């Protein structure tokens, strides 16, 4: 795992624009090198704003959308098309507006899907899809995602990994969460080993309510108490912040600020 680099942008809008631009560059670079790329999406305001900025950017034409695998880091276990599903937000912000290959867009199961309403079974199905997509060189049960994005909650949760909950001890790649402290209570989430299989992990945080979680996530805390502290990529970890979210950075953390 790599020590994180921190980039601080003036405000949430600039953070979203800069992250969208970074995403284009990363996907184009990977596609040029290997033909296809894989990304993992997050819900939340900032993550969705990044997708909307990407949709609005002329640079999106540089991406070969047909050769992009799209996964999700977590999902609220709700009926298909529900406005609170992360999938719904991502489709509206970006995926409905670009020429993705539908077979390569892999939302987590919905509670009314063909596989039934059992979240544990749904988590197992998602894990099976990840396992099928993993190649021998990935050396594990999930692909080495090229970019995995994560929002962070004021309580330091990432994906649907909430502090002290059993999912943080689970070694399976994908698990169901019941009784999440933030509604809806039933969710599906990648676990930390799956997150840490990504080549690059980008933590996106805006607003002063995230400042404590960001500081704890960069201060050597344990991921069971502070899940964002476990958000680390194999090759690179970026904390992409706005100024209020960066207000309590620990000393000595690299900090590259936008004017
Ligand atoms: O499932 C959820 O409840 C949200 O997706 C959540 O995990 C979100 O990503 C973070 O709380 C950051 O949200 P914001 O970017 O809106 O602050």
> Does the beta carbon of 4 lie inside 6 Å of ligand 1?
no
Residue 258 has pLDDT above 80, yes or no: no
Place 144 in a pLDDT band, splitting at 50, 70 and 90: very high
Predicted complex: ipTM over 0.90: yes
Distance 153 CA to ligand 1 centre (A): 6
Q: What is the pLDDT of residue 253?
A: 82
Assess whether the C-beta atom of 73 lies below 6 angstroms from ligand 1: no
Name the pLDDT band for 196 (thresholds 50, 70, 90).
very high
Say yes or no: CB of residue 115 within 6 Å of ligand 1: no
Percentage of residues of the chain with pLDDT beyond 90: 94
Distance between Cα 32 and ligand 1 center (Å): 32
Whether 141 is in the pocket of ligand 1, judged by its Cβ within 6 Å, is: no
Q: What is the pLDDT of residue 1?
A: 65
* pLDDT at residue 202 in the model: 98
Instruction: Please write the tens of the pLDDT for every residue from 214-257.
Output: 999 999 999 999 999 999 999 999 999 999 999 999 888 877 77
The torsion region of residue 159 among left (phi > 0), alpha (psi -120 to 50) and beta comes to left
For a ligand 1 pocket test, name from 76, 93, 153 the mutation site with the most ligand atoms within 8 angstroms of its C-beta: 153
| C-beta 151 within 6 A of ligand 1 | yes
State the pLDDT at residue 259.
Answer: 74
CA distance 138 to 123: 20
pLDDT at residue 57, rounded to an integer: 97
Q: Percent of the chain beyond pLDDT 70? A: 99
Tell me what pLDDT residue 136 has: 94
241-253 pLDDT, tens per residue? 999 999 999 888 8
- Alpha-carbon torsion, ordered 92, 97, 100, 104, to 10 deg: 0
Please give, one letter per residue, the 3-state secondary structure of 21-70. HHHHHHHHHHHHHHCCEEEEECCCHHHHHHHHHHHHCHHHHHCCHHHEEE
Sort residue 6 into left (φ over 0), alpha (ψ -120 to 50) or beta: beta
Q: What is the pLDDT of residues 59-117, one digit of tens each?
A: 999 999 999 999 999 999 999 999 999 999 999 999 999 999 999 999 999 999 988 99
Q: Tell me the domains of the chain and their CATH numbers.
A: 5-257 (3.40.50.1360)
* For the CA of 209, the nearest atom of ligand 1: 17
């Amino acid at each position: 795992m790599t020590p994180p680099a921190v980039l601080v942008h003036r405000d949430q809008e600039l953070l979203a624009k800069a992250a969208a631009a970074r995403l284009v560059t990363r996907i184009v670079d990977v596609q040029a090198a290997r033909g296809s790329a894989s990304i993992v999406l997050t819900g939340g305001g900032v993550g969705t704003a990044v997708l909307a900025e990407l949709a609005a950017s002329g640079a999106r034409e540089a991406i070969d959308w047909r050769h992009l695998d799209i996964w999700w880091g977590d999902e609220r276990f709700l009926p298909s098309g529900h406005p609170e599903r992360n999938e719904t937000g991502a489709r509206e912000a970006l995926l409905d507006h670009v020429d993705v290959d539908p077979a390569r867009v892999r939302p987590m199961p919905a509670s009314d899907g063909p596989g039934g309403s059992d979240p544990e079974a749904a988590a197992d199905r998602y894990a099976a899809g990840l396992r099928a997509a993993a190649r021998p060189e990935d050396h594990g049960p999930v692909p080495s995602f090229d970019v995995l994005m994560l929002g962070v909650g004021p309580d330091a949760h990432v994906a649907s990994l909430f502090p002290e909950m059993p999912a943080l001890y689970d070694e399976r790649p994908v698990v169901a969460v019941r009784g999440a402290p933030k509604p809806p209570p039933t969710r599906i989430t990648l676990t930390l080993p799956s997150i840490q299989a990504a080549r690059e992990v980008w933590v996106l945080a805006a607003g002063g309510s995230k400042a404590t979680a960001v500081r704890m996530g960069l201060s050597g805390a344990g991921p069971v108490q502070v899940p964002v502290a476990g958000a680390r990529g194999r090759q690179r970890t970026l904390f992409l912040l706005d100024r209020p979210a960066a207000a309590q950075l620990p000393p000595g953390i690299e900090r590259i600020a936008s004017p």
